[in-house]
Structure 1
Amino acid sequence: MSDQAQKLRNLIRQREGAATPLSEAAPQSNARIITVTSGKGGVGKSNFTLNFALCLLERGYRTLIIDADIGFANIDVLMGITAQTNLLHLIKGEKTISELVQTGPGGIQFIAGGSGMFDLLRLTDEETASFTNQIEELCGMADFILFDTGAGLSKETQQFIAAAQETIVVTTPEPTAITDAYALIKMVRNEDPDVTFRLVVNRATSTREAKATADKIRMVARRFLDIEIASIGHVEDDHLVSRAVKEQTPFIIAYPHSAAARSMKVLVDQFLGQPSKADLGGGMKKFLKRLIGRTH
């Protein structure tokens, strides 16, 4: 009963525009760790991640974004925030994990990555032990941890995808985006057959176009990779998305009744209705072991 009451209080606070800080939230089971990626840049991956996270937050889920785009981190820019800290401060022992968590519009909480993500993949044993102890605390503080990875077929992106086990691939109806999305799935599949992929079609002009785009990727993956990829929906092409980006405000907040916002909310409901690997256990500790190759 107390756990249900806590969730209800959290939900009320969020609807009033004040999300529960992760550091104050009651510890719960392992967080659901998800990477968001794309086969190429320019498909709106980071913007999708941000607004997707905000929709999860609206539904009462404690959600944290970790910007894992090495060299092109921009989650903070999309919110009009200048990040003062990032994971590099944690790796160097200058900040604790709770000090890295920053709050953006709508109460969404995030950790800036930047160059710190590159250093993360090259830690010494001693640094790994310290980092692991710190970041494991996040699992008791969030229901969802979203890693916004870099676009394309880099080794670093592949490591994050394989570590998380659950990946959302964002594409658009453009032929190059479709080809690159499949190439990414194929590359990861060849290295790690256990990764679960979910497809999102961004900037679709209609439900019909979105379905046709997703079906192309799903059909080829089924035929040549022998895997079934679930589609969790699409985000409609909407000029208000570009306007929100220029205003440095998430479109879910700036234009909550826009076509893009409505389709995003439907997408999130579909996502939540699909089965996940969250119940397999392991959480952040397993993620770090797979990512870095060792934990203590």
Structure 2
Amino acid sequence: MNDQAQRLRNLISNRDAQPLKSTRIITVTSGKGGVGKSNFTLNFALALQRKGFKVLVFDADIGLANIDVLMGMTAKYNLYHLLKKEKTIWEIIQTGPEGLQFIAGGSGFQDLIRLTEEQLDDFADQVGQLNGHVDYIIFDTGAGLSKETLKFILAAEETIVVTTPEPTSITDAYAIIKMVHAMDHDIPFRLVVNRVADRREGWQTAEKISMVAKRFLQLDIPTLGYVADDRNVSKAVKRQIPFTIAYPSCEASRAIDELADDFLAKQLPAEAQSGAVKGFLNKMIKLLKP
């Protein structure tokens, strides 16, 4: 009788935990390091979560994986443990502030590009289990034109490019857009200009990239928004607390909240998102296989 009652409770629990209809895959990248890409990713994910969406951040920066550091946490497990079959996908998911889920990269992505075909299929089976269990998976990729970063961008549904008003940052942001567009014309980009003095500087920076992309690539790059050069951001980094938590009313936090609203207002149609994780993995495996 007790066994029957337990089975009934399990059935009710499984019914209540039905997966979501779709999971959307987004990559965040930048043309160069030091533009605040990971900090943007973390706080953007938190902003989406506060609006009622379930988000998983996947730290895919091979050289400088630091999402856990920005949260003041030490990840117990990371992608390496999954690839070595020491842990399942569910066991390497960590929980950060406000319940934000994340997977630390560690040295795992260096191993990922050296896997055999059978190991890649096992990896795909594991990650594929995430489909429908979160609304968004956000991959924080490495900065610059590495082959690993390019593979993540080419496999994802869309890419957010983070830049700053500095000339080198603008040039490098355009360079990564140009390279990806040459490989796949259908990858949609959105632009975020970080550390702006004011909205006018943000608009001017975005306009420079948009105009060049339109002229030479025949590519429209919409601007998602601008984030102020706010001293509270660096203060939060030193405290190892996301700035939207440490200073929720500061200028940068308000900008992130607006960005999240704009992002949600211009989503892809639901039918285009179905099977997103499976589609992402299929593309990724093809790109990674020797």
Q: Under a length normalisation based on structure 1, what TM-score does the superposition of the two structures give?
A: 0.89
Query: Displacement of 1:129 after TM fit?
Result: 2.1
2:166 aligned with 1:181? no
Give matches, 1:67-82, under 5 Å: 67-82=59-74
Query: Displacement of 1:64 after TM fit?
Result: 0.3
Alpha-carbon contact 1:28-1:140 (below 8 Å) kept: yes
Secondary structure at the counterpart of residue 138 of structure 1? coil
Query: Displacement of 1:115 after TM fit?
Result: 1.5
Alpha-carbon contact 2:57-2:140 (below 8 Å) kept: yes
Deviating 4+ runs (over 4 angstroms): none
Provide, for residues 163-211 of structure 1, a one-character-per-residue CA deviation record: whole Å limited to 9, x for no partner. 0030000000111100000001001101111110000000111111111
How many corresponding residue pairs?
A: 272
2:276 aligned with 1:291? no
Provide, for residues 110-142 of structure 1, a one-character-per-residue CA deviation record: whole Å limited to 9, x for no partner. 000121112222321221222111111111210
Give matches, 1:102-117, under 5 Å: 102-117=94-109
Secondary structure at the counterpart of residue 233 of structure 1? strand
The AA in structure 2 aligned to 1:98 is W
Q: Distance in 2 between matches of 1:184 and 1:275?
A: 23
Q: Which moved more, 1:161-170 or 1:281-290?
A: 281-290
Q: Distance in 2 between matches of 1:218 and 1:278?
A: 27
2:258 aligned with 1:260? no
Q: Which moved more, 1:229-238 or 1:40-49?
A: 229-238
Q: Distance in 2 between matches of 1:233 and 1:278?
A: 23
Identity of aligned residues (%): 60
Alpha-carbon contact 1:35-1:148 (below 8 Å) kept: yes
Secondary structure at the counterpart of residue 77 of structure 2? coil
**Residue of structure 1 in register with 2:218 after alignment:** 226
User: 52, 56, 59: which one pairs with 1:64?
Assistant: 56
**Residue of structure 2 in register with 1:14 after alignment:** none
Alpha-carbon contact 1:39-1:152 (below 8 Å) kept: yes
The AA in structure 1 aligned to 2:39 is N
Secondary structure at the counterpart of residue 195 of structure 1? coil
Q: Under a length normalisation based on structure 2, what TM-score does the superposition of the two structures give?
A: 0.91
Q: Distance in 2 between matches of 1:114 and 1:194?
A: 31
Q: Distance in 2 between matches of 1:279 and 1:178?
A: 34
**Residue of structure 2 in register with 1:31 after alignment:** 23
The 1:162/1:278 distance shift into structure 2, 3 A limit, reads farther
The 1:232/1:109 distance shift into structure 2, 3 A limit, reads same
Query: Displacement of 1:26 after TM fit?
Result: 3.5
Query: Displacement of 1:294 after TM fit?
Result: 7.5
2:266 aligned with 1:274? yes
Q: Distance in 2 between matches of 1:95 and 1:111?
A: 12
